[in-house]
A and B are shown apart, each in its own frame.
Chain A
Amino acid sequence: MKTVAYREVEAMTTGWWMLMGVLAAFTSLGLLAAFYMEHNGHWVTGMTNQIVWGLPHVFAVFLIVAASGALNVASISSVFGRTAYKPLAPLSALLAVSLLAGGLTVLLLDLGRPDRLMVAMTKYNFRSIFAWNVILYSGFFGIVVVYMWTMMDRRMKSFSKPAGFAAFAWRLILTTGTGSIFGFLVARTPYDSAVMAPMFIAMSFSFGLAVFILVVFASSEMTNRPLGDALVRRLKNLLGVFIAAVLYFVTVQQLTGLYVAEKRDAVVFLLTNGGVFTILFWLVQIGLGALLPLALLFAPPTAMNRPAIGLAAILVILGGIAQVYVIIIGGQAYPMPLFPGFEATSSFFDGQVNTYVPSGPEAFLGVSGFAVAMLLVAFASTVFRFLPESLADEVVDPHCAAKARK
């Protein structure tokens, strides 16, 4: 097999400046929004004492979940020994740390006291899943950076496999931790379920790969590097499997909820009369975010059509954001059952479905998480050799390409 050649992205071209400009603009908008929120206090956002986590958390959780999933391609090549994915392994690791950085930026900037980052880094309550996550996130950065080093430095090549294993194990634990942020909350009926952890892992596979496919498409298009059908076929089939896995876990989650009398009302609320949450669930999460992409990826007319595959990836991301929105916001909107068997009213909105109207600053802050991630990817692949010169079939999978030519 040919050794894969990597080359930096050419800097200072018009396209490069435009890309950097747009990403920097969105990043700055997010920073401005965060400053505005912190300066005035959170009352200027749509978040309240009832909906305490809002749009920033939706984007942050999506990005953090996608981060661990973006490492898929590297894991498949290092841990499961699939050489076809090897050329993309460094990019996969880079995308993983970048998405995590983007997500954590949003999470940090939404804190009531972001100036106390040092407190969060130095004072740990080891019973807190959040505290575990702080350690898991820091560890992920460390391990994946070392993993990238082993992949990109010839002298370190022999360490690549163990580093890949470590990164793979760590990302599974990390996503378990992210899912458990919600799964361990006994207070709120719609959360409180062990299925959250494996479901978040499936979500990470799907969201992360969708983002990865888009980055691969965009980078090969923008830098005029060939991208062969063999790799595209592998990636899109894999995405299809992951979408199905998420659907499976969502089904299990909702069915267990319907079966247990204690949770039934909350599930019925979401599935039938939850207003915006019901619409988001059926239309965006299931319809646009799972069924339509599956059709695009596997129906013969569009199955190998690049724009259709790109669209499917975009839809998976949209559906994913909707899913996280439904989980986080929907879970808080459903009234907390303090007094089962009673109708409750109070000045603190007991017994009511809580409403949430996201504000502009929150949305800008959330979206800026993506901008930060992409800015990091673009910058790092300009400075270092992350992107392969070619992803043509004969480079990626010479054996398969030769067969196809016959």
Chain B
Amino acid sequence: MSATTSRRAFLAAASAAVATLAPGITLIAAQAKPADQPASSSVRWGMLIDTTRCSQDCSACVGACNVENGLGSHGRPQTDPQWIRKVDLTSKRTGQKLSLPVMCQHCESPPCVDVCPTGASFKRQDGIVLVDRHICIGCRYCMMACPYKARSFVHESLENQRPHQPRGKGCVEGCNLCAHRVDEGKRPACAEACASGAILFGDLNDPKSEIAQKLRTLPTTQIRPELKLNTAVRYGGLSI
């Protein structure tokens, strides 16, 4: 047996050990993939957002995203990038008030990936939709095509980027479900920062995962369901 396979076996054993040693993060830690393994198509990462637990005056998820990904503001709201935003809703019929975060919905058939001329906008095997800035030419067609306004264009030169989150002028960017954290077995920053537990992160493909179980039992919906994009971000307590 080669050295690499035995290392893989060791890593797998190690992550299993973590699963039993640290309750609370067990579910996620058990799914952490070894660093030398590619993301697998047997997994589909997703989030369930319980709007009944999301309060209008809380924006912890937005703040955490900005810090995690180094999104600064230039004081120009029209051009400052926003990967996640809080949307406040008032029903025109009943006056019901709701508040919820909207970010990239990580569609199963993402329009941004279809329209991207160079293939910079792509979907990882585990369902995460993101932009490869190495080949993004900044045409913004994906922003035209995204039904969720989830993408931002970097309108100015940037400095002090976080080492794990390279970003720069002239490329389009958006929520990548904190792929760098997910690959380490952690939750996205927004989910971790949500004190009320309104954002649940997990593997939609694993029937035993908490998110899959909740999706089976609770009434949930996706934004713009008529587009049939089969988003990985689902909302509870919202009737469209």
Contacts and interface: CB of A to CB of B under 8 A. Distances in A.
Direct contact of A and B (CB under 8 A): yes
Interface of A: 38, 40-43, 48-50, 52-53, 111-114, 116-117, 119-120, 123-125, 127-131, 134, 181, 184-188, 332, 336-350
Given A49-B78, A342-B90, A130 B149 contact: no
A49 B136 contact: no
Nearest to B114: A127
A124 B144 contact: no
A358 to B, nearest CB: 14
A114 B171 CA distance: 11
A349 B154 CA distance: 17
Contacts of A53: 140, 144
Interface string B74-112: 101111111001111111110000100010000000010
Given A119-B118, A124-B118, A112 B170 contact: yes
Q: Which of A48, A112, A186, A344 has the most CB of B within 10 A?
A: A112
B93 A341 contact: yes
Contacts of B77: 347
Nearest to B59: A347
Contacts of A129: 115
Interface string B106-149: 00000101111111000000000000000111111101111111
Contacts of A124: 117-119
A343 B90 CA distance: 5
A41 B157 contact: yes
Nearest to B115: A128
Contacts, number: 169
A82 to B, nearest CB: 38
A345 B88 contact: yes
B178 interface: no
Q: Which of A120, A187, A332 has the most CB of B within 10 A?
A: A187
5 contacts: A53-B144, A113-B138, A125-B119, A187-B144, A346-B102
Q: Which of A124, A186, A340 has the most CB of B within 10 A?
A: A186
A341 B143 contact: no
A111 B116 contact: no
Contacts of A40: 156
Contacts of B151: 49
A43 B79 contact: yes
Nearest to A51: B78
B172 interface: yes
B155 interface: yes
Contacts of A188: 144
A347 B137 contact: no
Contacts of B79: 42-43, 48-49
A120 B98 contact: no
B78 A350 contact: no
Given A116-B137, A339-B223, A347-B85, A49 B153 contact: yes
A112 B117 contact: no
Interface residues on B, range: 35 or more
A128 B170 contact: no
Contacts of B116: 125, 128, 130
Nearest to B171: A112
B158 to A, nearest CB: 9
A43 B76 contact: yes
A53 B157 CA distance: 20
B9 interface: no
Given A117-B137, A344-B89, 15 more contacts: A42-B156, A49-B153, A111-B170, A113-B171, A116-B138, A124-B117, A128-B116, A128-B117, A129-B115, A186-B147, A188-B144, A336-B149, A338-B87, A346-B88, A347-B85
B146 A187 contact: yes
Chain A to chain B: the 10 pairs with minimum beta-carbon distance, closest first: A112-B138, A112-B170, A130-B117, A41-B156, A187-B147, A43-B155, A48-B78, A125-B119, A342-B89, A348-B85
Contacts of A134: 117
B115 A346 contact: no
B90 to A, nearest CB: 5
A38 B169 CA distance: 9
B116 to A, nearest CB: 6
B91 A112 contact: no
Given A124-B117, A125-B118, A350-B85, A112 B169 contact: yes
Given A52-B153, A112-B170, A125-B116, A347 B223 contact: no
A43 to B, nearest CB: 4
